[in-house]
């Protein structure tokens, strides 16, 4: 595949001059796409906001009451020439859907609370967007966090938080769903709520405001944002959004009886939607939680997570969004299974998404075919928490590689366990000539610490696997580790250097070349709710930074090997704040608010994150409650402490979690229940679910050649 | 679309743009070249691309390239700049001063840093044209309209550079954001007219 047989004639595409006003402008972006520009001022000419605008935007005049669902585009457009990457705000992507406002009974605004470039590729939002828009009487649009430059202009001109699809005000929707993969999006949530003109506090909202629903992994402890959201949904979203839609549709059809309160009550009665206002939290004199109890008779004591079984019945995304602006992932991503029972003790995703539910090889094949045909992407990402663990991963990769041989479609497995990767997989992944990056995550440097975290990967496995990759043409491999794990010592971290040195030594020996590299990437450990480490104390940023300095010295102690090893790390401070937010309770909401009021935005971005701002806000706000930042982060919890999320049921038995925590401290390993008997984590019986895995024994069949010249005209999206 | 890819470790689709309009500028005349692996019907290609692109980003025509480089046929651009709240008479004076100058040095940030260059020589034609009846709904607000033909040079002289030039020679400072539209691109005749760069391909295609 290194040589192209024949390059056909070049074609030219033209947009000749025409009469009338220009509607669009094509320009070249860095990645060679042709994004849409509807602006009319050179970006190099900054114009201060005109105090007395006469440009037709009407911004200087008091805004008359708009019709609900009307477009804010006429007021937004004049601002775009003045901001960076305006293309991210214009919408109109392939796969985007704009529906008739008046014909919709239930209207959702879906947000990923980060910039477009991070938010657009998010699978969760794309799936829910499609699931909802497939319903004839439901409309779903997307909104992303706006950068501070546009936020400032929107505030000055009174432009509300808008959706990118039809540029409607978020406040006009019935439901505002926000998906949190990480707690660092909380300040962006506040910006969006505030820009939308919705009261910041749920308690202050009226029937004119949407119901704000949080979802995603961070929603398994929504207590820090309990004051700002109206509800939270735990677990898989596909069926949850449909259930919420049904409840909203019926309530509206009945004439909205009982107002907002009644709607929230109906949601709460499902026992799978958590409505924080219906629960009271009492505290002990020492600051710990005494209890969390419903304050209404007909609300459940515990709220349970949703689990979508049979992923073959939910083959989304079918029509993936193709971004106009550059984004972090530009590929067709298909989840090949959900859930993971490898049992890594730090891994919240693995704990809260149990049991493992595989998508069958044939469904994956069909989704890839349709997804690529619709989108034109050249990369397929086979996603899951540990992709090489799929029972038919070998046949899946070879089948797809065979189907797309001779094309520019490449395959990637973003999460690959060292012990499940092998030479066959390596060859299938590199068949089309292009090798996507390989990342392995031993997580811990020493055998001892890997027993503590239950990531049972041996050093020999790692060396063998990485050498396999080097021998198959990869020049670069990334190794991911954590620092600050429970019981960790300096020595555990320093073993990372030995491991990296040996990887390079073995790689050089196997390939006979000095042209191989590895990157050691270190993240700070953050204890998460619903994991065996939920009781653990965090290591202070000072200790973490010290260990990282020692590690860097150790890596570079051997000049020759050190040159081939890249070293990337996040320092300890952001992790500490993430720790505050992930295990926080309702009192932490006041810290989030203070940080936001002091300008905190985009906390997941190192150039925007300010550790000092969080420390200061915590110091201002928390003493009134008799607690402080350390109390939430570096303090170890005991067995009997009521945790802020105890009333939220992930299916995991708290006694089992505690036992696993004790096993961790005695360096005792736990097997995977896919291959060994059930160890009673509690999820399957309490959630009425079961492991769904293959093998099915089926294979992927060759694709029939595409018709004629291979041109395909995408179906127009509904207007 | 059976698009061709570049060779090498990370193959890229073969697409090249000739003199793309700057960000924030409207355009009715952008051109690009696409390399394909096999011949396709240009009209089908146009329809497929148009359907995949955003509303407002319309693909109007496609022809088979008969040879030569598209970039060589983009000699000049025809621009219209609308300047709300600028008195046409004031603009006229500024334009006269600009046209009379031998050269007009302007500054702009480029990828290489801040550069100073002449914005005058590349301007083939610069005129103030009468505004339509009620251009912006509000009849009381004056609006001056400028039309430009600018030769494709290096560094490129863009509409904002000409506006910078008007600021330099006549202190013209538009109170609100100007609206810039590219109306045409192509080869330049001796009379200063712009010829559709695809005309030659249309003739060539007919012969093939």
What's the pLDDT score for residue A714? 63
Do domains A331-436+671-704 and A437-587+627-649 share one topology? The answer is: yes
For A311, list phi and psi in degrees, rounded to 5: -60, -20
Longest CA pairwise span in chain B (Å): 60
Name which of A17, A46, A97 to mutate to probe chain B: the one with the most chain B Cβ atoms within 10 A of its Cβ: A17
CB A16 to CB B34 under 8 A?
Answer: no
Calculate how close chain A gets to B207, using CA atoms only, in Å. Answer: 15
CB B21 to CB A8 under 8 A?
Answer: no
| Mean pLDDT split into 10-residue runs, chain B, 208 residues | 83 87 91 93 94 91 88 93 93 96 92 91 94 57 90 92 96 91 94 88 56
What's the pLDDT score for residue A7? 38
In SS3 terms, A340-405 reads as CCCCCCCCHHHHHCCCCEECCHHHHHHHHHHHHHHHCCCEEEEECCCHHHCCCHHHHHHHHHHHCC
CA distance A161 to A198: 10
CB A32 to CB B12 under 8 A?
Answer: yes
The partner residue sitting opposite B22, judged by closest CB among A14, A22, A42, is: A42
What is A437-587+627-649's CATH number?
Answer: 3.30.750.200
Residues 433-472 of A with CB under 8 A from B: 433-434
Q: Does A47 touch chain B (CB under 8 A)?
A: yes
Locate the chain A residue with the closest alpha carbon to B86.
A54
Beta bridge partners of A438: A477
CB A711 to CB B40 under 8 A?
Answer: yes
For B159, list phi and psi in degrees, rounded to 5: -55, -40
Locate the chain A residue with the closest alpha carbon to B64.
A11
Q: Tokens 């149990």, residue?
A: A354
What's the pLDDT score for residue B24? 84
ipTM of the complex: 0.85
What is the domain partition of chain B in residue ranges? 72-188
**Which of these CATH numbers, 3.30.9.10, 3.40.640.10, 3.30.540.10, 3.30.750.210, describes A331-436+671-704?**
3.30.750.210
Interface A-B, measured as beta-carbon pairs within 8 A, has a size of 271
Name which of B3, B43, B57, B58 to mutate to probe chain A: the one with the most chain A Cβ atoms within 10 A of its Cβ: B57
CB A433 to CB B164 under 8 A?
Answer: no
Q: Tokens 């691309």, residue?
A: B49
Phi-psi region of A92 (alpha: psi -120 to 50; beta: other; left: phi over 0): left
For A580, list phi and psi in degrees, rounded to 5: -60, -45
Q: Does A584 touch chain B (CB under 8 A)?
A: no
Which residues of chain B does A53 touch, with a Cβ-Cβ cutoff of 8 Å? 176
Integer angstrom CA distances of residue A146 from A86, A613, A657, A703: 10, 21, 39, 42
Q: Does A473 touch chain B (CB under 8 A)?
A: no
Q: Which two tokens stand for residue A566?
A: 């890249």
CB A54 to CB B53 under 8 A?
Answer: no
What is the domain partition of chain A in residue ranges? 31-40+67-276, 331-436+671-704, 437-587+627-649
Name which of B21, B26, B135 to mutate to probe chain A: the one with the most chain A Cβ atoms within 10 A of its Cβ: B26
Query: Is the peptide bond between A225 and the residue preceding it cis, with omega within 30 degrees of 0?
Result: no
Calculate how close chain B gets to A653, using CA atoms only, in Å. Answer: 48
What's the pLDDT score for residue A44? 33
CB B38 to CB A710 under 8 A?
Answer: yes
Tell which residue, B194, B133, B134, has the closest CA to residue A17: B194
Q: Strands B26-27 and B179-188: what pairing?
A: parallel
User: pLDDT exceeding 70 applies to what percent of chain A?
Assistant: 88
CB A12 to CB B7 under 8 A?
Answer: no
CA distance A232 to A221: 9
CB A93 to CB B136 under 8 A?
Answer: no
Tell me how far the alpha carbon of residue B61 is from its chain's centroid: 17
CA distance A120 to A103: 26
Q: Which two tokens stand for residue A34?
A: 């042709």
CB A34 to CB B53 under 8 A?
Answer: yes
Which residues of chain B does A717 touch, with a Cβ-Cβ cutoff of 8 Å? none
CA distance A314 to A331: 20
Q: Does A17 touch chain B (CB under 8 A)?
A: yes
Contact B3/B157 with Cβ under 8 angstroms?
no
User: Considering just the CA atoms, what is the radius of gyration of chain B in Å?
Assistant: 20
Beta bridge partners of A602: none
Helix, strand, coil percent values for chain A (each to nearest 5): 35, 15, 50
Tell which residue, A552, A419, A435, has the closest CA to residue A494: A552
Q: Identify the architecture of domain B72-188 in CATH.
A: 2-Layer Sandwich (3.30)
CB B23 to CB A43 under 8 A?
Answer: yes
Locate the chain B residue with the closest alpha carbon to A94.
B52
Q: Does A718 touch chain B (CB under 8 A)?
A: no
Burial class (CB in 10 A: 0-12, 13-18, 19+), A418: buried
Which residues of chain B does A406 touch, with a Cβ-Cβ cutoff of 8 Å? none
Residues of chain A with pLDDT under 50: 1-9, 14-64, 707-709, 717-719
Calculate how close chain B gets to A227, using CA atoms only, in Å. Answer: 39
Give the length of chain A. 719
Calculate how close chain A gets to B154, using CA atoms only, in Å. Answer: 17
Locate the chain B residue with the closest alpha carbon to A41.
B24
Contact B54/A93 with Cβ under 8 angstroms?
yes
Which residues of chain A does B64 touch, with a Cβ-Cβ cutoff of 8 Å? 9-12
Contact A387/A416 with Cβ under 8 angstroms?
yes
Q: Identify the architecture of domain A31-40+67-276 in CATH.
A: 3-Layer(aba) Sandwich (3.40)
What's the pLDDT score for residue A39? 33
Integer angstrom CA distances of residue A650 from A314, A421, A477, B166: 22, 30, 35, 67
Name which of A21, A25, A331 to mutate to probe chain B: the one with the most chain B Cβ atoms within 10 A of its Cβ: A25
Report pLDDT digits (tens) over A234-268.
999 999 999 999 999 999 999 999 999 999 999 99
The partner residue sitting opposite B24, judged by closest CB among A14, A55, A81, is: A81
CB A10 to CB B36 under 8 A?
Answer: yes
CB A26 to CB B27 under 8 A?
Answer: yes
- DSSP SS3 for A109: strand
CA distance A663 to A653: 15
What's the pLDDT score for residue A173? 98
Residue A511, Cβ neighbours under 10 Å: how many? 17
Residues 89-118 of A with CB under 8 A from B: 90-94
Name which of A13, A35, A97 to mutate to probe chain B: the one with the most chain B Cβ atoms within 10 A of its Cβ: A13
Locate the chain B residue with the closest alpha carbon to A474.
B9
CB A78 to CB B177 under 8 A?
Answer: yes
């Amino acid at each position: 595949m290194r040589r192209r047989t024949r390059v056909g004639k070049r074609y030219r595409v033209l947009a000749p001059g025409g009469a009338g006003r220009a509607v669009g402008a094509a320009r070249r972006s860095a990645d060679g796409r042709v994004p849409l520009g509807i602006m009319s001022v050179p970006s190099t000419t900054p114009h201060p906001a005109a105090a007395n605008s006469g440009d037709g935007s009407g911004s200087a005049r008091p805004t008359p009451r708009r019709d609900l669902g009307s477009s804010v585009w006429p007021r937004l457009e004049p601002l775009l020439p003045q901001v960076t990457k305006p293309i991210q705000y214009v919408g109109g992507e392939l796969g985007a859907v704009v529906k008739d406002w008046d014909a919709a009974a239930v209207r959702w605004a879906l947000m990923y609370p980060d910039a477009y470039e991070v938010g657009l590729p998010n699978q969760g939002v794309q799936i829910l967007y499609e699931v909802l828009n497939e319903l004839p009487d439901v409309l779903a649009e997307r909104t992303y966090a706006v950068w501070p430059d546009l936020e400032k202009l929107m505030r000055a001109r009174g432009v509300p938080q808008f959706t990118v699809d039809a540029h409607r005000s978020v406040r006009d929707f019935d439901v505002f769903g926000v998906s949190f993969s990480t707690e660092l999006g909380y300040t962006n949530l506040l910006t969006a709520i505030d820009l939308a003109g919705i009261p910041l506090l749920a308690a202050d909202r009226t029937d004119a405001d949407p119901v704000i629903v949080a979802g995603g992994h961070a929603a398994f402890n929504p207590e820090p944002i309990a004051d700002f959201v109206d509800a939270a949904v735990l677990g898989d979203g596909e069926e949850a959004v449909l259930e919420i839609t049904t409840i909203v549709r019926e309530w509206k059809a009945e004439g909205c009886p009982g107002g907002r309160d009644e709607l929230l009550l109906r949601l709460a009665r499902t026992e799978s939607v958590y409505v924080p206002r219906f629960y009271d939290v009492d505290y002990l004199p020492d600051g710990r939680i005494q209890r969390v109890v419903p304050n209404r008779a007909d609300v459940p004591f515990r709220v349970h997570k949703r689990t979508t079984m049979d992923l073959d019945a939910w083959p989304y995304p079918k029509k993936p969004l193709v971004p106009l602006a550059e984004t972090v992932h530009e590929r067709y991503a298909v989840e090949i299974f959900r859930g993971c029972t490898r049992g890594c003790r730090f891994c919240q995703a693995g704990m809260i998404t149990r049991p493992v539910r595989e998508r069958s090889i044939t469904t994956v094949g069909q989704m890839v075919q349709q997804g690529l045909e619709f989108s034109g992407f050249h990369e397929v990402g086979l996603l899951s928490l540990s992709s090489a663990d799929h029972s038919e991963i070998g046949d899946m990769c070879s089948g797809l590689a065979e189907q797309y041989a001779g094309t520019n479609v490449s395959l990637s497995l973003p999460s690959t366990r060292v012990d499940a990767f092998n030479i066959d997989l390596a060859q299938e992944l590199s068949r089309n000539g292009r090798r996507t990056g390989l990342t392995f995550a031993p997580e811990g440097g020493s055998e001892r610490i890997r027993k503590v975290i239950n990531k049972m990967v041996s050093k020999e496995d790692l060396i063998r696997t990485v050498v396999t990759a080097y021998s198959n043409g990869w020049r670069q491999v990334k190794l991911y580790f954590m620092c600050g794990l429970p019981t960790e010592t300096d020595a555990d971290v320093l073993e990372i250097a030995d491991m990296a040195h040996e990887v390079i030594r073995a790689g050089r020996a196997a390939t006979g070349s000095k042209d191989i590299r590895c990157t050691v990437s270190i993240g700070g450990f953050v204890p998460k709710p619903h994991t065996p480490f939920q009781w653990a104390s965090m290591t202070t940023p000072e200790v973490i930074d010290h260990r990282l300095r020692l590690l860097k010295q150790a890596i570079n102690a051997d000049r020759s090997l050190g040159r081939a090893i890249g070293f990337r790390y996040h320092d300890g401070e952001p992790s500490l704040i993430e720790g505050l937010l992930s295990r926080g309770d309702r009192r932490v909401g006041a810290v989030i608010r203070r940080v936001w009021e002091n300008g905190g935005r985009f906390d997941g971005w190192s150039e925007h994150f300010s550790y000092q701002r969080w420390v200061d806000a915590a110091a201002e706000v928390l003493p009134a409650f008799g607690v402080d930042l350390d109390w939430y982060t570096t303090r170890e919890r005991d067995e009997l402490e009521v945790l802020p999320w105890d009333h939220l049921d992930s299916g995991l038995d708290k006694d089992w979690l505690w036992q696993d925590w004790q096993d961790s401290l005695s360096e005792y390993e736990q097997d995977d229940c896919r291959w060994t008997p059930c160890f009673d984590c509690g999820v399957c019986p309490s959630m009425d679910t079961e492991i769904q895995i293959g093998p099915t024994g089926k294979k992927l069949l060759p694709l029939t050649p595409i018709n004629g010249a291979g041109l395909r005209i995408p179906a127009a999206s509904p207007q | 679309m059976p698009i061709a890819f570049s060779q090498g470790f990370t193959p890229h689709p073969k697409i090249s743009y000739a003199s793309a309009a700057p960000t924030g500028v409207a355009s009715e005349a952008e051109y690009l070249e696409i390399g394909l692996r096999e011949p396709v019907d240009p009209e089908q290609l146009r329809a497929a691309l148009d359907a995949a692109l955003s509303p407002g980003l319309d693909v109007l025509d496609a022809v088979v390239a008969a040879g030569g480089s598209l970039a060589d046929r983009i000699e000049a651009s025809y621009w219209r700049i609308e300047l709300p709240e600028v008195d046409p008479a004031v603009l006229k004076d500024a334009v006269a001063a600009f046209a009379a100058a031998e050269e007009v040095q302007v500054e702009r940030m480029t990828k290489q840093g801040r550069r100073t260059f002449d914005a005058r020589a590349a301007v083939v034609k610069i005129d103030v044209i009468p505004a339509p009846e009620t251009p912006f709904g509000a009849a009381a607000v004056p609006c001056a309209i400028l039309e430009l033909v600018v030769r494709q040079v290096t560094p490129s002289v863009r509409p904002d550079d000409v506006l910078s030039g008007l600021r330099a020679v006549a202190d013209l400072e538009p109170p609100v954001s100007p609206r810039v539209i590219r109306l045409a691109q192509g080869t330049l005749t001796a009379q200063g007219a712009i010829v559709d760069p695809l005309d030659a391909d249309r003739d060539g295609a007919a012969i093939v």
